[in-house]
Amino acid sequence: MSTTGGTSNMAEKLGRRHPLQKLESPSRGFSGVLHVLGLLSFYSSFKFLVDNPNVISESYGWHFQYLTIIGISISTLCFASALLADITSSPALFALKNYLSLVAAPIEILISILYWSLRVIDPALVVPPDLPMLPLATDIGFHFVPAALLTLDNILLSPPWPTRPISPHAPLITLVLSTSLAFLYWFWIEHCYTHNGFYPYPIFQLLSTSQRVGLFTVSGVLMWLVGAGLRAIYAGVNGLEAKEVGGPGMVEGEKKRK
């Protein structure tokens, strides 16, 4: 193969995949399989809600009163964009998936941490007394599988940051985004409460207004810390980007691997 041909192939490959990205994505290989499995899991969760109606199904806001369902909805949009990118090799759809992942991955991990922590303390904090506990497999599908799948996608199938070069304000952007989302959710459930007369999570009923403000503030900061943790894990697994290391487009981790 000629030098020109090799250079062209390398440029094409780097155009599709960031040098630090661990695995090929978008692609119809592992990337496509992971996104199909994720969408099947999310579909199964929504199907369970439709097949098993309860008081939440008939109340204002439906199951979107739950942060869990909001998270799965965002994750569904994220993985749908990812799968379409896998099929079409569209850079625009791949970029959309990466931006959605900025929200989806931290929020799913936060949901898992909060839900399982509260459930260990007292299941009555997260499950209303007039509703049965979810079957364990279904519970895992709602409160663990999305976090695991989004983490794999984030670490193995995504660039280190959706924009290039990496924004120096990334930590501040994610802190503002995380806190804003936490308070938007608070406003939403308070709005639903005015219609329904109850909160989706019993723990909200036990807290005063100021305590709920504190809870959502802490949740926003935790989501930000989760995002920071994901970036740290990504750097540990894939390496760090560095300017002017080995020439344009090279990165610290890539240079070490050569």
Residue-wise pLDDT tens digits, 6-60:
444 433 444 457 888 889 999 999 999 999 999 999 999 999 999 999 999 999 9
Q: Does 252 have pLDDT greater than 60?
A: no
Q: What was the pLDDT predicted at 61?
A: 96
Give me 235's structure tokens. 């750097």
Number of domains in the chain: 1
231 inside domain: yes
Number of Cβ atoms within 10 Å of the Cβ of 243: 10
For 145-203, what is each residue's pLDDT tens digit?
999 999 999 999 999 876 655 667 767 777 788 888 888 999 999 999 999 999 999 99
Residue 80, Cα to own-chain centre: how many angstroms? 13
- What is the residue-averaged pLDDT of the chain? 86
Is 229 a residue whose pLDDT tops 50?
yes
**What's residue 90's pLDDT?**
94
Residue 6 pLDDT: 45
Judge whether 156 lies within some domain. Answer: yes
2, part of any domain: no
For residue 185, being part of any structural domain is answered with yes
Range of the domain at 86: 23-257
Tell me the whole-structure pTM to 2 decimals.
0.85
In-domain check, residue 16:
no
Distance CA 87, CA 204 (A): 43
Show Cβ contacts of residue 241 under 8 Å, excluding neighbours closer than 6 positions: 20, 160, 165, 166, 251, 252, 253
Question: Would 1 be classed as within a structural domain?
Answer: no
In a domain, 95, yes or no: yes
Q: Is residue 15 part of a domain?
A: no
How many Å is the Cα radius of gyration of the chain? 21
Per-residue model confidence (pLDDT) at position 8: 44
